[in-house]
Amino acid sequence: MPKEPARPTSVDVVIVGAGAAGIAAARRLSQAGKRFAVMEAAAVVGGRCITDTTTFAVPYDRGAHWIHMPDINPVAKLGAQTGLDIYPAPPGQRVRIGRRYAREGEMEEYLAGQVRAATAISDAARKADVPCLQALPKDLGSWRSTIEFVLGPFGCGKDLAEISALDFSRSSERDIDVLCRQGFGALLGKLAAGLPVELSNPVTRINWALRAGVEVATGRGEISARAVIVTVSSNVLTAGKIKFTPDLPKRHLDAAAKLNLGSYDRIALELAGNPLGLQPDELVFEKCDSNRTASLFANMSGTPLCLIDVAGSFGRDLAAKGDAAMIDFATSWLTGLYGTDIAKTVRRRHATHWNDEPWVLGAFSAAAPGAQPSRKVLMESLNDRVFFAGEAAHETLWGTVGGAWESGERAADAAVKSLTKRGA
C-alpha cells in the first residue's frame, strides 16, 4: 500500500485519483524529481482495478482482470518486476449451444462471422463514423446476437448501436492476455507502493485561474500547486463532483459526455467441486438469440470462483435491480447451460455495481457515433495548468488499464514540460 503522507501545503503537481493513470503519473513525476501529492477519494488505490481478498478468501478482481497485450503493455512489463505471479491466459474461447459445446465447424462459422463483423465496422469507419451496429453484415445468421454481445457489451461495455465505428476500428488488438494470480488490483497496489497518496480524501474544487498555478480543495483542506493532473472518469467529470473555477470549457465537458462510460458488472459465484468440468481460466460464451446473455470466466486462477459478466444495456438494467436479481440471473443462466444441479453447488456469491460507485459511475469509455475526436479534445490541457488522463484519454487503448497508464505518463510529461517552461 502507498504511504499516507504528511499534509503538504504546496507542491509542484497535484494528481487527482490513484487509479492506473494517477499511479503512472506519480511514478513519472517522481522520476523527474518533482514534488507532488496524490488525492484519492476511495479508501484504496486502484480506481476501477480493485482486488477483494475477503469475500471469497481468494483474490477476486471486482473490476479489470485481463492484462492485455503483455509484449507492449507497460503495466505487464512492470508487473513482471513485482514478484507477483503473472501468467499467460489460455488462448481462445468456447461457446455453449444449449447443453453442449459448439462443434469444430460451428466454432469456425462463429469466429469467421466475428472477423467479418469487425472488418465491416472498420470498412464503414473509413467512409463515415456510423454506429457499429449499422455496419454489421446482414448475413451473420443465427450467430448475430452472440457476435453483437462479444464485440459490443463484452468488449466495449455498450451495445453496438451506441459505439462509434471509428473508435472501434482504431482500438488496438486485445487478443493476447496475461493474468495476475494475486489480482490486478494487487499489482497496481505494488506499483503504488511508497507514493504519497492520501486515501479517502476527495478533491472537491480546482481553481485554475491563479497566476502562479492552481489551488486544489480537498476534504482535508486546500493545497496549492503549479499544475494538476485530473484522472477521474469521464462520468465523474460530467457529474460535476469536482467544481472548477473557472468552469470547465464546454468543449471539454462535451467531449467527456460523448465518451461516457458503459456498463460492465460481475457476478461471482463460488462453485464447489468444479461442477462445470472446466479448466482454470476458461472463457465461455453462449449462442444466444437476444441481449439477455453473459460471459463465463471459469475457475479463476485455479480457484472455485466463476465470474459471470453482464454488460451493455441488459447488464445496466439488471444491475439496477440489485444483488438478488443479478445472482438469480447468473444462477439460472448457468443452470440453463449446464443443468439444474449446478444451483446446488453454489456457495458464496457477490455482485458488483460499478454504475453506483460514487467516484467511478460506470465501467469504461466507448465513444458515441461521431465522437471519436473527443478523445483528443480530452487530452488538451487548460492553460498549461490542468492536464487530463485516464483510459478515456487514449485513442487506441481506451477501456484498458494499459491505456490509462500510458495516458498518465503522457500527462505527467506534459506537466513537467510546462513547469520547466515556467522555470518551476
pLDDT at 422: 81
Identify whether 55 is part of a domain. Answer: no
What pLDDT shows up at residue 6?
Answer: 65
- Please tell me whether residues 299 and 274 are part of one structural domain: yes
Domain co-membership, 166 together with 267 = yes
Q: What is the CATH number of the domain that holds 111?
A: 3.90.660.10
Could you tell me the residue range of the domain that residue 18 belongs to?
A: 10-49+62-85+181-260+365-421
User: Is the domain of 210 the same as that of 283?
Assistant: no
Would residue 1 count as lying in a domain?
A: no
In a domain, 5, yes or no: no
**Dihedrals phi, psi of 317, to nearest 5 degrees:** -65, -40
Q: What is the pTM of this model?
A: 0.96
Please check whether residue 334 lies inside any domain of the structure: yes
Identify whether the C-beta of residue 334 lies closer than 8 Å to the C-beta of residue 308: yes
| CATH at 23 | 3.50.50.60
Q: Are 186 and 78 in a shared domain?
A: yes
Helices (runs of H) and strands (runs of E) counted in the chain: 14, 20
Q: Which three cell numbers stand for residue 350?
A: 457477490
Identify the CA nearest to 10 among candidates 164, 191, 156, 227: 227
Q: 68: number of CA atoms within 13 Å, CB side?
A: 17
Task: Confirm whether 274 is domain-assigned.
Answer: yes
Query: Would you say 207 and 214 are in contact if contact means Cβ atoms under 8 Å apart?
Result: yes
Do 268 and 231 share a structural domain?
no
Local structure of residue 154 (DSSP, 8 states): I
Do 16 and 162 lie in one domain? The reply is no
210 plus 291 within the same structural domain: no
- Tell me what pLDDT residue 192 has: 98
Q: What is the pLDDT of residues 33-78, one digit of tens each?
A: 999 999 999 999 999 999 999 999 999 999 999 999 999 999 999 9
Check whether residue 403 and residue 340 sit in a common domain: no
Residue 189 lies in a domain: yes
Alpha helices in 14-154 (DSSP H): 20-31, 74-79, 104-125, 132-135, 144-149
Q: Nine-digit cell at 246?
A: 473557472
Question: Are 272 and 415 contained in the same domain?
Answer: no
Same domain, 188 and 330: no
Same domain, 79 and 140: no
Residue 385 lies in a domain: yes
Instruction: Note the pLDDT of residue 118.
Output: 97
Per-residue model confidence (pLDDT) at position 294? 98
Of 356, 375, 404, which residue is a domain's last?
356
pLDDT tens digits in sequence order for the chain, 424 residues long? 555 556 678 999 999 999 999 999 999 999 999 999 999 999 999 999 999 999 999 999 999 999 999 999 999 999 999 999 999 999 999 999 999 999 999 999 999 999 999 999 999 999 999 999 999 999 999 999 999 999 999 999 999 999 999 999 999 888 899 999 999 999 999 999 999 999 999 999 999 999 889 999 999 999 999 999 999 999 999 999 999 999 999 999 999 999 999 999 999 999 999 999 999 999 999 999 999 999 999 999 999 999 999 999 999 999 999 999 999 999 999 999 999 999 999 999 999 999 999 999 999 999 999 999 999 999 999 999 999 999 999 999 999 999 999 999 999 999 999 999 887 6
User: Do 415 and 396 share a domain, yes or no?
Assistant: yes
Domain count, the chain: 2
